[in-house]
Amino acid sequence: MSLPVLGITLGDVCGIGPEIVIKALQNEEVYSLCRPIIIGDEMALKKAAQLVKTEIKIVPPLWEKKTELVPGVVSLYSVSALTETDLRYGQPTKAVGKAAFDYIKTAVSLALEDKIDGIVTCPVNKAVINEAGIPFTGHTELLAELTQTKRYAMLLAGEKLKVALVTIHVALKEVPKLISQEKILDLIDLTTTFFQEKFSISPRLAVAALNPHAGEDGLMGREEIEIIAPAVKAAKEKGYNVEGPFPPDTVFYWAKEGNYDVVICMYHDQGLIPFKLLHFRDGVNVTMGLPIIRTSVDHGTAYDIAGKGLADESSLLAAIKMAAEMIQG
């Protein structure tokens, strides 16, 4: 079986994206897993290579010229032509925001055209993209829009813990109004189907409550009684391997101990706080439900350390590995 072709978007080039890409491409394991194509900017890559004191040879995309890829040889699909003024670490311009957006759009197009087998994305800054005049709430929402996907969800994956989110990038005060039996049941179905198709397992799911102590029989909130527990009951009746709702202060511990494969969470930080506590350096963000495979690093642009050579590429390596595994089934 030939190795899958993965398109790796460079993200915000004023952050740590270019640096972690160059570092990851020095790892020989990457080339045993996939054939990587970088979707981004030539000058940004060269600047990152200088930063980490390594030499690179940039070659055209794989489908234009067959070149053996090894550490030091970078296959680039050039999308932007940023200037020295744009490429100042920690100081992104509007051009950088637009470029980051264009990398994502290009990667999706290449995946839909079957020129690449999957996408791995480096971090972007939502505010910078919006300042460039492009409405943007996050990778997940944009990928769903570009692929015309209606049913999708964010999964954060690591060796010790995996979490899926009912609501994503919304204000905390909006969460109680946005959760519903239908949404929870749909996420249970989507998560189960995803794991069956991509990893050949029927996952054991735990559903987290919204309120402290799972609502304490209605004393601390009625969402568990009126919404979450009925959704879990309906899912079990449909044959899904799911339990809950469990108090949020204990469910992640039992999942980490191996009792459950995935925790279904009601909102972003409910799942992301315990997840990042365990997988700050090697967590992977996966978008379930898309017609294409997409994984991502689970960290931001890190402007504070950009340009200092301190960035850790572990999350990118984990994202590459997971995407390759999903493609190969």
Q: Give pLDDT tens digits for 237-265.
A: 999 999 999 999 999 999 999 999 999 99
Phi, psi of 77, rounded to the nearest 5 degrees: -100, 105
Shared fold status for 1-148+290-329 and 159-281? yes
Q: What is the mean pLDDT of residues 73-100?
A: 95
Structure tokens at 70: 């090894």
Burial of 239 (0-12, 13-18, 19+ CB in 10 A): exposed
What's the confidence (pLDDT) of residue 65?
A: 54
Q: What is the mean pLDDT of residues 52-70?
A: 82
Residues with Cβ within 8 Å of residue 215, at least 6 apart in sequence: 209, 221, 222, 223, 224, 225
What's the confidence (pLDDT) of residue 140?
A: 86
pLDDT digits (tens, 9 = 90+) for 112-121: 999 999 999 9
- CATH code for the structural domain at 159-281: 3.40.718.10
Which CATH code of 2.60.120.200, 3.20.20.150, 3.40.718.10, 3.10.20.30 fits the domain covering 1-148+290-329?
A: 3.40.718.10
* Average pLDDT of every residue of the chain: 94
* Helix (H), strand (E) at residue 278: helix 268-279
Select from 264, 271, 209 the least CA-distant residue to 240.
Answer: 264
pTM of the model: 0.90
Structure tokens at 190: 């989507």
Domain ranges in the chain are: 1-148+290-329, 159-281
